Amino acid sequence: MSAGDRGCGLLSSLLWSCFACDSFAGYSCGPACHACSSTCVAPQHNLDNVMKQHDGRGARPPREGAPLASTAGNPWNRSPPRSTPAAAPSSTTLASSGGSPAAGRAAGHARAEMRLYGINAVQAVFKARPQALRKLYLSEARIPQFKALLAWCVSQRIGYRVVEEADLSKLAASAHHEGIVAEVLRVAPQPLQEWLAALPQGPVLALWLDGVGNPHNFGAMLRSSAHFGVAGLLLPAGSTLGLSGAAARVAEGGAEAVPLVQLPGTATAMAQLRQAGFAIAATLVDGGQDVFAAALPQRLVYVMGAESEGMDRAFARDCDLQLSIRGSGKVESLNVASATAVFQAAWHARVLA
C-alpha cells in the first residue's frame, strides 16, 4: 500500500501521526504533514474537527449517564490504577495543609509540580530532564518547532493539547508564554553538604541570596549565573524563594543549568563553606573595596542582598571581603540582578581568564 493510500492514522492513544513518513508530526490531519509535507488523503479530518473531538488527552469524556470508558490508556489520567491504592499523605503534609487529607494531597501536588512557559524554559527542561514533563500545552504555530518534544509525549504517554493563544495566557497567567506552557516536576534544593561534596576542585563561584524575593530578579540572576558558570544559588534557612514560572521564563533556560542549594543556619553555613575552601564576600552599594581592584579568591561566594535594603550589615561585617561596584554616582545603585552580573563578570575575567 502506498503512502498516499494510507493517509493519516490514529494511534491507540488517539494522537494523530503521519503514515506517509512514519513519524509523529503533531496534528498532521490538514493540508500537509508537518514533518514530510505529505498531503492528507482524508481531507474531512481537518485540524478544527480533530481538535473538537480529540487532543493529547485522548477521547472526550462521555455524556452524562453514558457508560464510562476505561482511563487506563489516558496519558492525562495520573491517578493510580484501582488495584493499587494511592499512598496516604505523610503527617508532615497533612500538618502543613491544615490536617485535611484532600488538602494534604493538593499541597503535595502543588509543591511537586510547577507550570513553566516560554520556548527556552521548556526546551531546557526537555533537554536536561525530559522525564520531568507532566503536561504540555502549545499553540498550533509551535507544532513544527516542538516535533521532538511532541514525539516524546507520544512515546511516554504524556498528555498534551493544542490550544488558543488566549488559553495559553490564562494557563501561564502571563502574555509572555511564547506559545508553549508545560507542567513539570520541581527539583528540590540540595542540602549544602551534598552540594559541597559534589563540587570539583579548583575555581568555583556561587551566590548566597540574602533576602532576594522578586521572581524577575531571581530569573535574571539565574540567567547570568548560567552564562558565567556559577555552581549554585544558595538559599538561606527559612527562605521561601523558589523557582516560579515567571523566574524560569526570565532565566531563558538558565534555571536548568544552576542548582539551588538549601543552607542551614547562617553560622553553620559560613563554617561549612570556609571549610570547603570558600571565601565569603559581602556585596555593598558603597563602602566596600572596588571589585575590579580586589584580589578575588578562586573559590568565592558572593552574598547578594535584598532588592531594597541590600544585605544585612551585621552579616556583611562577618564576611571575609566587602566589595562594591564603582559608578558615576548619577544613580544610587544598580538593580540586584544587574549588580550580580557585574560581580560575576569581574570574577570570571580575573580568575578564569
Nearest-angstrom CA–CA distance, 37 and 332: 58
pLDDT tens-digit series, residues 201-220: 999 999 999 989 899 999 99
pLDDT digits (tens, 9 = 90+) for 171-193: 988 888 989 999 999 999 999 99
Whether 126 shows a pLDDT value over 60: the answer reads yes
Check residue 111 and give left, alpha or beta (phi > 0: left; psi -120 to 50: alpha): alpha
Q: What is the pLDDT of residue 211?
A: 87
Distance, CA of 245 to CA of 114 (rounded, Å): 7
State the Cα torsion 9-12-13-18 to the nearest 10°.
-20
Q: Which of 126-135, 208-217, 258-267, 299-308 has the highest mean pLDDT?
A: 258-267
What mean pLDDT is predicted for residues 15-35? 40
- What is the structure's pLDDT at 303? 98
Can you give the pLDDT at residue 238? 86
Please classify residue 62 by burial: count the beta carbons closer than 10 Å to its beta carbon, then call 0-12 exposed, 13-18 middle and 19+ buried. Answer: exposed
CATH number for the domain whose boundaries are 190-352: 3.40.1280.10
The answer to whether 134 touches 57, Cβ cutoff 8 Å, is no
Domain ranges of the chain: 3-59, 115-185, 190-352
pLDDT > 50? residue 252: yes
In the chain, at which residue ranges do the beta strands (DSSP E only) sit? 8-10, 16-18, 54-55, 58-59, 113-117, 133-138, 159-162, 180-185, 190-191, 204-210, 232-235, 260-262, 279-284, 289-290, 299-305, 321-324
Per-residue pLDDT for 194 more than 90? yes
pLDDT at 67 over 60: no
User: How is 79-101 classified by DSSP, letter by letter?
Assistant: SPPTTSPPPPPPHHHHHHTTS-H
E strands of 33-85, at which residues? 54-55, 58-59
For residue 32, give every residue at least 6 positions away whose Cβ sits within 8 Å of its Cβ, in sequence order, or none.
Answer: 38, 39, 40
pLDDT at 142: 92
Mean pLDDT (the chain, rounded): 76
Share of the chain above pLDDT 90, in %: 55
Q: Is residue 280's pLDDT more than 60?
A: yes
Q: How far apart are CA 260 and CA 194, in angstroms?
A: 12
Q: With DSSP H G I counted as helix, E B as strand and the rest as coil, what are the percentages for the chain, rounded to 5? A: 35, 20, 45
pLDDT computed for residue 96 by the predictor: 36
pLDDT at 111: 62
- 3.40.980.10, 3.30.1330.30, 2.30.30.40, 3.90.1150.10: which CATH number matches 115-185? 3.30.1330.30
pLDDT of residue 172: 87
What confidence tens digit (pLDDT) does each residue in 76-107 have?
444 333 333 333 333 333 333 344 444 443 34
